[in-house]
A = this chain, B = another copy of it.
């Protein structure tokens, strides 16, 4: 890194090179949006050379290209590992253009070679049927963040640098996306970044002033206010303002100086926190609070990380005036500034002038290859941001070292007699997972790690926090494996960035509030679907959701905290990506989590209660049960070997399992000789046919377990419709009767919740009596008795409702 701090490299020649690269990237970007042939303008541009359907977004593109060209300068100079995150939506043309200039694109996609034919294909394929998207999608080399839905770039960037001390992620934040909630929350991420052990994020707030059709808040607020805002976010801002769009030389000079100052500032902070001498260059890592110096990682010494604010015209270097209206520097350049090139000769001429303004002959040789002098700006090998393995995290991923969970599993002498909190036990196993993987595993959560009972992890690690730490605080430290912030968006965004750069993690969350990230989940699931089809992208660790504090136990919280619908939401995504597990007890939870943490390229959803609940299966049985995904629980039923049961009581989820086993008991006692089969489902996708989901159960197996024709009473953790959906077209779908959550809830006891929604033991037993032919008539007294006891039980819970243990005993012995 010799000379890395010097300004000597900012000579005219260097800036000329950067400018040529920028022009080349801009030329390729315009070409992608407009051209389907004649890529080098060998002939005068004709309407027929242009695409008849113009798709693409020019507005954000030149700014992205500008930043990219400049970053290459410092990457080369310093051999600095950098990752590029393009926040603005529709930044595809820019990122793709740079990847092609760097050679990466042609290395990955042979049909898009580094020559004229390749350039023609590069242009043709963009936003073209069967071609490539307009975003920095999975198909785009160097991308970990699509930007198609705005607002996640900054969180992704932070996720990428955790535990990557040598990496700097440069993230361009559009002023449009800066208005979103997730982005607004992300500014505080540096409070969770340890300058000693993590890398750094260099945010580049790109104020081009406009969204689709409006100015942006950050671009229009007074400059002084913006500066206060960024300082309030804990940043040291460097402003680069392009006053004269034609004076690109000044812009280059200003931006290069800003980049140099920021890198120096980052290194100063890192040096001071890494116990180095600290060759402080531009910005320094001075403390916010007066009392502490930059060098000391003491209290209040959260560093001011540098940020660049680039004010440049939207659609910079594009057509300034079109049809008499200002386009460059306004929202009118958001998509295609010249919309009628096929029908309007003036537009076509303006397009040709625009393309030629980049002087392509200085940039590409006669074969369409990048001229060697311009190519000088390409960093070496994997330092190319389009080729960095950090953006293809599977290349860097090492499997987690998973401790055997046998040491944490509990013995089960008799099913259902002991009560253990599955989450507390899981916490002890997670503690060991963390111990074994201190550099590539993290636990993310919205202030709920302890609330969800995983507190054992604090025996070996802490929660990261850079602001003041007080004596009264517990488990807070400058570094740690747990990230807690009251923003599900941040947890999700950080974790996505962490996974896509090759690491592992778990997001632990209240079940109801995981809906906050529904849309982020959508984007990640879509990313995975495409990623899996790209042979050059290597598998990444699965995104693991551990959902607790679930719908059935919200005595503190009530109706607003009751929503088991995330599973429904997830199941709409591609089957090959989605896995859903509902372990009924502690040992099955351990088994499932071990499986999930070892898996790749999935989204795993695991739902488990945190309150003490019955243990059903010993360690070996639990492992077998989870391997099969579902199974008959003979200990709970009353079957006669070799004979068909009279009724199947099925269940998925911990609370439904308790109620189902109890219902079977009520039936056994009440109807001697009734053959009751109890089926427990751990892996929800087993209910689908194998043609619908890779985990799906073949029809014959399904019929063998659920019978082709006996009544099935299914108690399900979530909304009942999902079970019908998954079991659709099964032989016995007519016999399937599902109970689940039906949006009846309030602040009440868990047992009352079960009753309100009809999944209680009495109702399940009554359901069985009503559906086994002849039973209702023959056992009308039993049925009446169950109904009476049900009503009594509700009364009892309402008058003695505060004590769940008491209620539980009362009901069990009723």
Q: Which residues of A contact B (CB under 8 A)?
A: 51-57, 90, 127-135, 137, 146, 148-151, 176-177, 179-188, 191, 211-217, 220-222, 224-234, 288-289, 300, 302, 326, 329-330, 335, 447-451, 463, 465, 467-468, 470, 472-473, 476, 484-490, 512-513, 515-516, 518-519, 522-523, 526, 529-530, 555-561, 563, 565, 568-569, 572-574, 719, 721, 724-725, 728, 743, 746-749, 752, 797-798, 801-804, 806
**A151-B181, A222-B467, A229-B231 known, 4 other contacts, Cβ within 8 Å:** A53-B555, A214-B447, A215-B467, A232-B232
Residues of chain B within 8 A (CB-CB) of A487 are: 179-181
Q: Please determine whether B743 and A467 come into contact, CB atoms closer than 8 angstroms.
A: no
B574:A559 contact, CB within 8 angstroms: no
**Alpha-carbon distance A669/B230, docked complex (angstroms):** 67
Contacts of A181 in B (CB 8 A): 151, 180-186, 487, 489-490
| A513 adjacent to B149 (CB under 8 Å) | yes
Cβ–Cβ contact A128 & B802, under 8 A: yes
Q: With the chains together, A574 CA to B744 CA distance in Å?
A: 9
Q: How far is the CA of A25 from the CA of B187 in the complex (A)?
A: 37
Report chain B residues within 8 Å CB of A131: 747
How close is A452's CB to chain B, nearest CB, in angstroms?
10
Cβ-defined partner of A185 (8 Å) among B179, B512, B568: B179
**Are A148 and B234 within 8 A (Cβ)?**
no
Report B-chain residues with C-beta under 8 Å of the C-beta of A728. 721, 724
Contact of A747 among B51, B55, B217, B752 (CB under 8 A): B55
| Cβ-defined contact, A149 with B560, below 8 A | yes
Shortest distance between the CB of A41 and any CB in chain B (Å): 20
Which B residues lie within 8 Å of A470 (CB)? 215
What is the bound-complex CA distance between A226 and B451, given in angstroms? 28
Partner of A522, one of B90, B222, B225, B515: B515
* A319 shortest CB reach to chain B, Å: 15
8 contacts between A and B (CB under 8 A): A129-B749, A135-B560, A149-B516, A181-B490, A216-B486, A231-B232, A526-B559, A530-B559
Is there an interface contact between B217 and A188, defined as CB atoms closer than 8 Å? yes
Least CB distance from A533 to B in Å reads 11
The 8 A-B pairs of least Cβ separation, nearest first, read: A229-B232, A181-B181, A53-B802, A148-B560, A129-B801, A184-B184, A220-B467, A228-B232
Pairwise interchain contact A133-B560, C-beta atoms closer than 8 A: yes
Contacts of A212 in B (CB 8 A): 447-448, 450-451
Closest to A515 in B: B519
- Smallest beta-carbon distance A773→chain B, Å: 19
Interchain CB contact (< 8 A) of A802 among B52, B151, B467, B530: B52
With A130-B748, A289-B222, A518-B569 already in contact, the answer to whether A217 and B231 are too (CB < 8 A) is no
Output the least CB separation between A88 and chain B (Å): 11
Known contacts A213-B451, A487-B179, A557 near B134 by CB under 8 Å: yes
B213 & A801 in contact (Cβ 8 Å cutoff): no
Minimal Cβ-Cβ distance residue in B for A147: B560
Contact present for A486 and B179 (CB under 8 Å)? yes
